[in-house]
Structure 1
Amino acid sequence: MSLLKKCLIAGVILVTLVAAAVAGVYHWATSPIDLTPAQLDVTIKPHSSLRSVTAQLNRGGVPVEPELFVLMTRLLGLQSQLKSGNYEFKAGITPYEVLQKLARGDVNEYVATIIEGWTFRHMRAELDANPALKHDTAGMSDADLLAAIGAPEAPIGNGEGLFFPDTYLFDKDTSDLDIYRRAYRLMKLRLDEAWAARAPGLPYKTPYDALTMASIIEKETGKASDRPMVSAVFANRLRVGMPLQTDPTVIYGLGDSYEGRLKKRDLQTDTPYNTYTRMGLPPTPIALPGVASLQAALNPAQTTALYFVSRGDGSSIFSDTLDDHNKAVDKYIRGQ
């Protein structure tokens, strides 16, 4: 047999072997992986090598053949594009799809939603119950938590109103302290923005005073368009030395003793938050205000109104005089 013929035969054999190998890799790469359970999460650590990624996948319950996965990744030129993070894998996914997911950085994003008007206590309970967070604040007092995020309000030990209500996205096993830090910084940003754009002549000495007022507006307002008027009434009362006389502060001061409906004795029971028995603002906010309430607190409507009462449909009627206010109360409250 001539040398040329031997080379041709060897070439055919080599091509056949390569084709068979490629076909084998293709079949493996496009075949569904047997996942148990059928849906699971795997975390890929930052700065992992390609072989470390394959090991983490296997330990996490996604069985990929290490050598084939490495070969496929290198053939596709993706070895430097794999991203860290927490990934969700479901039954039916193939090794090729796993690789593409890692290359895209298609990580899980978990959600923590904080609602306007919640108390800080409610916020803590919500984050404590979030199973995707790492609960580093477990056992911390409010003052300890504030100190841990570097909040200068830590000495007062009260986090009420200091955290911005919003929806926060995070990776699995993120520390809950990270959510508190983000919410705290965002509230500071929004408050600073509103304070810088405030109307002249407001009866607030500090942004914290305005934050406290915004929290009251958040709890007092059933209709969004009424916020500037509610803000104006309270600002007018502060200017003329009238008590705020707002029920939400009384309820906040009662704490766990509040029975679901204010009674006459509740309005007469003095606490630091009873704005019927004490003048001025309460010592701290009473809830987490949203941006609309912050803006309303610092840009109230132009009015001389000193009173308002709910119509019963979420909106309020505003009055300049006590006589007009009593008529409105007769119509909308006593009449019902």
Structure 2
Amino acid sequence: MTDKICIGSGLNTNFLAAGDAAGLDALLGQYKTYDQSHVEITARRLDVIVGGRIIEERAGVMQVVLEAHALKYVLHADHAINFMDLPNFDVHWALAEASVELCRRYGMTSMVMHSGNVPVSVWLDSRDQLLEFERESLKRLGDLAAEAGVQIAVENLIADPLGNKVVSGADPRRLAEQLAKADHPAIGGCLDFGHAFLSAPVENFDFLEAIKTFSEQVWHLHLHDNFGRPDLKGYADEGSRVSLGIGDLHLPMGWGSIDWTSVLPAMKFRKNTYAMIELRGRYRAVEDQVAATAKAFMDYWNDDLPLAGALTAVRSPEKK
């Protein structure tokens, strides 16, 4: 580790076919040519964990692929992990524990996991107990992570625009409070800018103020863009959502309406932050440009590039 605020940037693998080792190998070969240091490996695309258990043969295959490339890696643990799903907690815990073990084996020093969510009725009945249980579980996981040399980054999710469930970390300020109360040296935040931008109109908070507050707990980023328009109608085709500018689009930075001019200077991240990108596979044609944008953001936060230089790297779809 260094004394830099940001120590790595890079793309993700969430669009890979499940268990496609050859596809991962080809993708990493391409990624090596871009201006990035790390790749965020999407655990649910590896097919290495089944029922909370590591499949040793599959884990070995993927390790060979990862080690064949001159890149470093971080992990997005399975999106389904939910420490507030108390009736099924044992399997969530087993999955989280196995994910930390994969990080240890693969030399990954950051692991993203999702904050908790429950149906509204459960939240109203058990709010305080759920929050306490999640904190205690995070501290327990933090102990395992610290032994493995891994920092856990808990991500803010998207508020349910239909109001059927409570997403506890949809307001980044509330997630910041939860992590502060957990108070574990191996537990921090993952700031997903797009998620916060979509949650702000649903939960009626100020986007910039909320992410600024959360940023002090953050050491992992999910960089992408959208228009801040919640998906109320549930369009089945992603292409329609893209055309309309609705929902969690995971666009290149600058293609949506997040005001990066205001966002960049407001952030106060923890040291050793990873500036990772979550880009939809449909934008692979410009992924090299997006990687360069993330690198420019990282250089700005490290005081190696002026704000104007970082903003110059932000592209819009109108640019040729």
| TM superposition score normalised by structure 2 | 0.24
Structure of larger gyration radius: 1
**Structure that is richer in strand per residue:** 2
